[in-house]
């Protein structure tokens, strides 16, 4: 009976005891598992990902929704009509980020801000 200690790339130590043929079979198996399970390949993102709030607002922009100034509540209502329900603070935050990123503009309407296409 032969005895072998196998160390994997992950640091695991395996003590194998058996005939030469049994040990060779186990060593081959461990080597094949290491090359297939830890390849470091990152899975690709699905091309059909769910649209986030930014994407939905930019879709509204593409449809011409922001051709005239719109209040935050109008944007939220437009999203609600399309069955995309987001809380008002989330819509407000995303609109501000789109303004800062140059995707939308902001104009003063009476005492509120209106969001427009840039």
Give tens-digit pLDDT for 78-108: 999 999 999 999 999 999 999 999 999 999 9
DSSP string spanning the chain? -EEEEEE-TTS-EEEEEE-HHHHHHHHHHHHHHHHHH---PPPPPPSSPPP-HHHHHHHHHHTTGGGS-B-HHHHHHHHHHTT----HHHHHHHHHHHHHTTSEEEEEETTEEEEEE-
When the pLDDT of each residue in the chain is averaged and rounded to a whole number, the result is 88
Q: How many domains does the chain have?
A: 2
Confidence of residue 52 (pLDDT cuts 50, 70, 90): very high
**Within this chain, do residues 60 and 112 fall inside the same structural domain, yes or no?**
yes
Let me know if residue 43 belongs to a domain.
Answer: no
pLDDT score at 46: 64
**Within this chain, do residues 31 and 58 fall inside the same structural domain, yes or no?**
no
pLDDT score at 114: 97
**In angstroms, rounded to a whole number, what is the distance separating the alpha carbons of residues 111 and 91?**
19
Q: Stretch 44-49: mean pLDDT, rounded?
A: 70
Contact (CB, 8 A) for 80 and 60: no
Structure-model confidence comparison of residues 52 and 26, the more confident one: 52
CATH number at residue 71: 1.10.10.10
Q: What residue numbers bound the domain in which 78 lies?
A: 53-117
**The whole model's pTM is what?**
0.59
| Residue 33 scores a pLDDT above 90 | no
**Within this chain, do residues 101 and 73 fall inside the same structural domain, yes or no?**
yes
pLDDT score at 36: 61
Let me know if residue 28 belongs to a domain.
Answer: yes
Confidence of residue 6 (pLDDT cuts 50, 70, 90): confident
* Residue 67, CA atoms < 13 Å, CB-side half-sphere: 4
Confidence of residue 45 (pLDDT cuts 50, 70, 90): low
Q: What are phi and psi of 43, to 5 degrees?
A: -65, 140
**Within this chain, do residues 32 and 65 fall inside the same structural domain, yes or no?**
no
**Within this chain, do residues 61 and 110 fall inside the same structural domain, yes or no?**
yes
Let me know if residue 46 belongs to a domain.
Answer: no
């Amino acid at each position: 009976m032969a005895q072998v200690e196998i160390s994997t790339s992950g640091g695991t130590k395996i003590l194998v005891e058996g005939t030469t043929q049994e040990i060779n079979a186990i060593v081959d198996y461990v080597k094949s598992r290491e090359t297939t399970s830890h390849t470091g390949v990152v899975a690709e993102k699905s091309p059909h990902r769910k649209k986030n709030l930014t994407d939905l607002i930019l879709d509204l922009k593409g449809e011409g929704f922001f051709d005239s100034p719109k209040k935050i509540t109008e944007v939220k209502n437009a999203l609600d009509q399309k069955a995309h329900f987001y809380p008002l603070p989330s819509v407000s935050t995303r609109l501000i980020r789109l303004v800062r990123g140059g995707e939308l503009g902001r104009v003063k309407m009476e005492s509120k801000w209106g969001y427009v296409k840039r």
